[in-house]
Structure 1
């Protein structure tokens, strides 16, 4: 069970005994759903996804620190990792820039660390893409609009057990791409706290890419026609969330019925 659901039944301070009582009380409630259990293969796929994300964050943080420090010292560097890797050794070897020796040594050490991190991140990226290519479910999900390797893997991990959800809307709500419910009715915005933040972000960015591409050409499918109409009425960001919602629902139906994605083409 989700720890957030169990916490509502916790009485007193957080101790092992109180936690056990809260878990027992929560287990008796029909409205509290049990968490999904995933297979060993899915656990490993989730693991390499997390490794890849960590490597990317570390690479970006280290590159930003190097770039910002050198900018403060009067050495602006163009965007891109290649430009940074090319300029740092030149700055370290320049004997006339006035940098003290201890800083040159530290700067070169950071440069070597960044170079190793880039190689590590690239190796993880290749292994991740290979894992996506070898997985038949990920290959099928990659056919959806705006779904790349990362989106396909995250969708597969989130919806690997379609029977855990009663319907497609429940699956979309679990990801966090449905409007927040209010007892007074009406339409609201999506929650930024609930759901799978990583998957929602990836689907949103993928949907924006689809929308940008669609601006430059005519619609070829019924879904693209619907997107163009929705962009005109509600704007691009609302349309991107609507496409992400539809993507999750479609992926849920594909996994539940074990079918491939077949976009409906416009006639004529």
Structure 2
């Protein structure tokens, strides 16, 4: 809009209004989907949970790095045993303990509130028939299902299921002019949260040891063998976006192939 209006010699409110009206008249701009209030509430839950999770991880990573300066290594430890492990390490260092303990208390508070938001998320998914249907697909858990439900909001937005992958930046860039044609990397346009959730689902689908074999996983492993795992993850994420949209639109659960079910 700015580029088109800047071509006018005289910039006035009247000229701007006429220019905007003209561009709308010739179809240069299309209607934008406005998310429903329910979708905005679900997104608030997802982003708030992610914020607390990220801050808790930041504190843990900072503690690991700071303690290494004193020759103290936290090592491989789960979230439940992290605090006790750090307390044991700084037991004989009073000054370090005085600095570290407030960080542990802040982390504990973050983890407590994170657990509350995560429970709210699970409760929503448990009572949502769309999320429960999406979770029948391999690699799709509660967080991914609710993220997909929130971002797409209404499956009728997309006339074809193939458009979902392009809308969320999982298709390749293309530059074509005359005899020149260059294919680039994925566009990464659209909602980052959605794209990250699909990538995470693809990672679980291809590398998870407990994921049941399916035609989608077989196809992804074949792509990984030909093109490498990184490209296969993006390809599976794009195909998973298409499959989930079709499941939602047709109101059908994920269909496991007979051959894959027998192999499992």
Common fold by TM > 0.5: yes
| Residue equivalent to 1:199 | 194
The number of aligned residues is: 250
| Residue equivalent to 1:87 | 85
* Aligned match for 1:55, one of 45, 52, 57: 52
TM value normalised by structure 2: 0.80
Q: RMSD between aligned alpha carbons?
A: 3.0
Provide the secondary structure at the position in 2 that maps to 1:188: strand
| Residue equivalent to 1:3 | none
Q: Compare relative contact order (CA 8 Å, sep 6+) and give the higher one, 1 or 2.
A: 2
Q: Which has the higher strand share?
A: 2
| Residue equivalent to 1:249 | 242
Q: What's the offset of the Cα at 1:93?
A: 4.6
TM value normalised by structure 1: 0.79
1:165-184 paired onto structure 2 within 5 Å: 165-183=158-176, 184=180
| Residue equivalent to 2:130 | 137
Q: Contact 1:78 / 1:84 at 8 angstroms: preserved in 2? A: no
Gaps of 5+ in 1: 1-5
Q: What's the offset of the Cα at 1:186?
A: 5.9
Gaps of 5+ in 2: 8-12
* Aligned match for 1:119, one of 106, 112, 133: 112
1:218-258 CA distance string (max 9 Å, x none): x9543344334323322222222111111111222223333
Provide the secondary structure at the position in 1 that maps to 2:118: helix
Q: 1:24 to 1:111 in 2, by over 3 A?
A: farther
Point out 4+ residue stretches in structure 1 off by more than 6 angstroms.
Answer: none
* Aligned match for 2:206, one of 201, 205, 211: 211
1-structure distance, mates of 2:47, 2:247: 25
1:117-160 CA distance string (max 9 Å, x none): 11111221121121111111111111122211121111112222
Q: What's the offset of the Cα at 1:84?
A: 3.1
